[in-house]
A and B are shown apart, each in its own frame.
Chain A
Amino acid sequence: MRVASSARSRRRPPLLLVILAGIGLALFVMPLIGLLFKAPWRDLPELLSGPTVADALRLSLLTSIAATGVAAIIGVPIAWLLARVEFPFRSVVRALVLLPLVLPPVVGGAALLFALGRRGVVGEPLNQATGLVLPFSTWGVVVAVTFVAMPFLIITVEGALRNLDTRYEGAAASLGAGQWTVLRRVTFPMIAPSLVAGLLLTWARALGEFGATITFAGNLQGRTQTLPLAVFVAMESDRDTAIALSLVMVAISLTVLIVLRDRWWGAS
């Protein structure tokens, strides 16, 4: 009978795995190091104090949070339908809903323009009826980033709903809970960790969006110029400002991801 001592059972991981993982980690860490090295540390306070930075930061936070909210309101019902209701062409619908993940964001932005622009298929009648113009507006930014980020929420929530034991909902029903009550008090609380992880992922994606934003919503400081757009524009004329803005984005993203790290791992 083989008895492994506790020391022996804690074997070291395979060397090849460690080497490959190390290379992968380097890929992630190196750009960050490059950024930190080239950063104009002395001028940073001055560079970050201008109205351009304040506007970009405000717009980025505003639009990314709004987009996450919109994604939650319309994405969760989509996820629920895909997970629970059998309807014709369900797999086609699922593919469509996940299309923005595969589509280059600029293509997505262009498509949004053709659909919702002032002369767009839907946008033109909408404009003529209500005077609403989405492109080149802050709401246009929200539409663009919601389009690219929502699939993340839908995937996460659909997966969680599928893995949920539906017998709990049956138990709730037997106790007198109607459909909405079951959703409110049983289903959603039970998928809460996955929901949070999905929202986080969605927000992060929305924050970093560039191509769809600039193509659909344009680029104007204070109205549509989010941090990624500001970085891009700054790259053309003022590299130091670009790096400073990049550092801001990295700082925000890392902070949120680290703070909510435990919730993320708990979403199993």
Chain B
Amino acid sequence: MTGGLDARLVVERDGGFVLDISIEIEAGMTVALLGPNAAGKSTAVGALAGLIPLERGHIQLGDRVLDDPARGWFVVPEERHIGVVFQDYLLFPHQTVAQNVAFGVRGSRVQPGGSVSAWLDRLGLSELARRKPADLSGGQAQRVALARALITEPQLLLLDEPLAALDVTTRAQLRHILADHLRSFAGPRLLITHDPTEAFLLADRIHVIENGHITQVGTPEDIRLRPRTSYIADLAGSNLIEGVAADGVISVSGHTLTAADTKAQGPVLATIHPRAISIHRNHPEGSPRNTWQTVVRRIEHYGDRVRLQTSDPVPLTAEITPGATSALDIHEGDSVWVSIKATEVTMEPGSSVAAVAPSVDDAE
């Protein structure tokens, strides 16, 4: 493929841990490597960046082979043209923001894709040019790390948990910036994360990694609706609903959801765990504030779990036991009532689309 990443990474680490995954990313695509901690994500980053040699496998970027142990071929990190945004940003503490951003292009083998000041501008860092990393907030540091990596016009963009160190509000704001820059980056992009929301919103395709192996590959939709392992189901199989919150009421395409948090205002991403959704044959009575009637579109069995997909007004995935399914005698196409407690609706500010340009001048 032109300009894409084709990699099979096999790495053995001390303590017996083995990483064995394959990743293919076409140019212009964002792939997320989603998995819990200690799943091998950082090892994958290290291997791709050239900081950890492969035991077996290969790494090919465009028409360049970067690592091929079978043929004894290894390209050193400084020659790989892979832009990395590291988990702790790793901004050089003894250099200013401007110097950090300029690092990769000053007197090195790389031609800058636009001047340093242009990139500082693009990420809203112009006023911070003379500051040292120690005086930056998390969000500011993240943007510097991004500029520093992008200015070198790398052939692959590697983001290792780029938003992990930030608080919820900052994360939402930066997700937009990140999304914009990812989109405008022409090459392949790999996003490493443990946060499913991040993966869903930023990636075109998700590779789920558990214990050094890929357990599922698919679009965010695939992963959410048809999780193959319990990890994915627990973490990633949540319902993600976009709406606008006001005093505890979320407006979602004509319908309203009641949430317990009355403080959030504005665009929000609401999550409802499938197990928090109760299914009833008839209109339920009781405390849950969110109840409506809907139709079961699809039923899938996963061993001891059953996942139902409901339709309008708010399409959801609900999870109940096989026993419950047979007890209620539910079939596809049946009409059921859904009930969700307000406390089970969690929110975080933000949206998947930049409906409003985020205020980049930080109130951080």
For A176, list chain B residues within 8 Å (CB): 78-79, 81, 104, 108-110, 152
Interface residues of B in 272-325 (CB under 8 A from A): none
Q: Do A174 and B93 touch (CB < 8 A)?
A: no
Q: Kindly report which residue of chain B lies nearest to residue A168, judged by CB atoms.
A: B90
For B95, list chain A residues within 8 Å (CB): 189
For A171, list chain B residues within 8 Å (CB): 84, 86, 90, 92
For B79, list chain A residues within 8 Å (CB): 176
How long is the Cα–Cα vector from A181 to B106 in the complex, in angstroms? 11
For A42, list chain B residues within 8 Å (CB): none
Smallest CB separation, A177 vs chain B (Å) = 6
Smallest CB separation, B11 vs chain A (Å) = 15
How long is the Cα–Cα vector from A178 to B80 in the complex, in angstroms? 11
Decide if B243 is an interface residue (CB 8 Å cutoff): no
Contact with A along B147-165 (1 / 0, CB 8 A): 0110010000000000000
Q: Do B92 and A186 touch (CB < 8 A)?
A: yes
Smallest CB separation, A266 vs chain B (Å) = 13
For A186, list chain B residues within 8 Å (CB): 92
Q: Do A168 and B92 touch (CB < 8 A)?
A: yes
Q: Do B92 and A174 touch (CB < 8 A)?
A: no
Q: Known: A170-B77, A175-B104, A177-B78. Contact between A190 and B94, CB under 8 A? A: yes
Of the residues A167, A178, A181, A185, contact of B90 by C-beta under 8 Å: A167
Decide if B74 is an interface residue (CB 8 Å cutoff): no
For B149, list chain A residues within 8 Å (CB): 174-175
How long is the Cα–Cα vector from A181 to B110 in the complex, in angstroms? 14
Contact with B along A181-210 (1 / 0, CB 8 A): 100011001101000000000000000000
Q: Do A189 and B78 touch (CB < 8 A)?
A: no
Of the residues A173, A175, A190, contact of B76 by C-beta under 8 Å: A173
Decide if B82 is an interface residue (CB 8 Å cutoff): yes
Q: Known: A167-B86, A186-B92, A189-B94. Contact between A173 and B51, CB under 8 A? A: yes
Q: Do B109 and A190 touch (CB < 8 A)?
A: no
Interface residues of B in 67-116 (CB under 8 A from A): 76-84, 86, 88, 90, 92-95, 103-104, 108-110
How long is the Cα–Cα vector from A170 to B158 in the complex, in angstroms? 14
Interface residues of A in 151-175 (CB under 8 A from B): 167-168, 170-175
For B50, list chain A residues within 8 Å (CB): 173-174
How long is the Cα–Cα vector from A47 to B334 in the complex, in angstroms? 112
Decide if B191 is an interface residue (CB 8 Å cutoff): no
For B78, list chain A residues within 8 Å (CB): 173-178, 181
Decide if B199 is an interface residue (CB 8 Å cutoff): no
For B104, list chain A residues within 8 Å (CB): 175-177
Q: Do A170 and B94 touch (CB < 8 A)?
A: no
How long is the Cα–Cα vector from A173 to B51 in the complex, in angstroms? 9
Decide if B178 is an interface residue (CB 8 Å cutoff): no
How long is the Cα–Cα vector from A176 to B94 in the complex, in angstroms? 19
Smallest CB separation, B235 vs chain A (Å) = 27
How long is the Cα–Cα vector from A174 to B85 in the complex, in angstroms? 10
For A175, list chain B residues within 8 Å (CB): 78, 103-104, 108, 148-149, 152
Q: Do A173 and B86 touch (CB < 8 A)?
A: no
For A177, list chain B residues within 8 Å (CB): 78, 103-104, 108
Decide if B54 is an interface residue (CB 8 Å cutoff): no
For A189, list chain B residues within 8 Å (CB): 92, 94-95
Q: Do B103 and A172 touch (CB < 8 A)?
A: yes
Interface centre among B49, B78, B95 (most CB of A within 10 A): B78
Closest 7 CB pairs between A and B? A175-B104, A173-B77, A171-B90, A174-B84, A176-B108, A189-B94, A170-B51
Residue contacts A-B, CB under 8 angstroms, 16 given: A167-B88, A170-B49, A171-B84, A173-B49, A173-B50, A173-B51, A174-B84, A175-B103, A175-B148, A176-B104, A176-B108, A176-B152, A177-B104, A177-B108, A186-B92, A192-B94
B interface residues (Cβ-Cβ under 8 A, vs A): 46, 49-51, 76-84, 86, 88, 90, 92-95, 103-104, 108-110, 148-149, 152
